[in-house]
Amino acid sequence: MDIGCPECDATIDASVPPGPGIHAESDSNRLLGTETECRNCGHELELYYY
């Protein structure tokens, strides 16, 4: 997915691994996260997903 860096406004192509998703029957819908950094300015970016 393409995201924007909040520091330099560069567009970063980031990937998020597949998560379990959100299931109405499950109480374990956990928010997961990963980190990457901007290849333009080095700013650390945190990505969260289900």
Write out the two tokens for 34: 């990963």
pLDDT given at position 27: 67
Domain extents in the chain: 2-49
- State the Cα torsion 20-25-30-32 to the nearest 10°: 20
Q: Which residues contact 34 (CB under 8 A, 6 or more apart)?
A: 16, 17, 46, 47, 49
3-class state of residue 11 by DSSP: strand
pTM flag (> 0.75): no
Question: For each of the chain's 50 residues, which pLDDT tens digit applies?
Answer: 899 999 999 998 888 777 777 767 766 667 888 888 999 999 999 988 87
Token pair for 11: 């567009």
**pLDDT value of position 21:** 72
